Amino acid sequence: MSDGVQIPYEVLNELNGSLKQIIVEFDQAGDRTGALEGAIGSPLGRNGLREQVDRFEGAWNDKRETLKQDVQELQKHVDEVGQAWVNWDTEASASLSVDQDESKNLPKGN
């Protein structure tokens, strides 16, 4: 049994992609507010619901930006960890490879 955490490359890559999608969603969320307010309109000549949506969006916008920055930082770290493991794996593999001329000098089995 291993004492460490084992995360396959594929899982890291999938997490990295999902975090990038979340960042894009946060970026685009504010753009949809106008469409929502337009869809609400002024039912019965009243603007109360639309004003509440606008107020909510204003408050959520600041929180969304903070959350987006946190997700961006997490995504950056996930990307760096994945890239570091790929680099280490490539270097380790290269150091273990035996070139054809070297194989002539290896001990022969009986």
Digit-coded pLDDT (tens) for 59-70: 888 899 999 999
pTM (2 decimals)? 0.69
Q: Give domain status of residue 63, yes or no.
A: yes
Q: Give domain status of residue 64, yes or no.
A: yes
pLDDT tens readout for residues 2-13: 677 788 889 999
Q: Is there a contact between 82 and 13 (Cβ–Cβ < 8 Å)? A: yes
Q: Give domain status of residue 93, yes or no.
A: no
pLDDT tens readout for residues 42-55: 888 888 888 888 88
Q: Give domain status of residue 107, yes or no.
A: no
Helix %, strand %, coil % of the chain (to 5): 80, 0, 20
What is the predicted pLDDT for the residue at 47? Answer: 84
Q: How many domains does the chain have?
A: 1
Where in the sequence is the domain holding 61, given as residue range(s)? 9-86
Q: Give domain status of residue 100, yes or no.
A: no
Q: Give domain status of residue 1, yes or no.
A: no
Q: Give domain status of residue 37, yes or no.
A: yes
Q: Give domain status of residue 27, yes or no.
A: yes
Amino acid sitting at position 102: E
Q: Is there a contact between 30 and 65 (Cβ–Cβ < 8 Å)? A: no
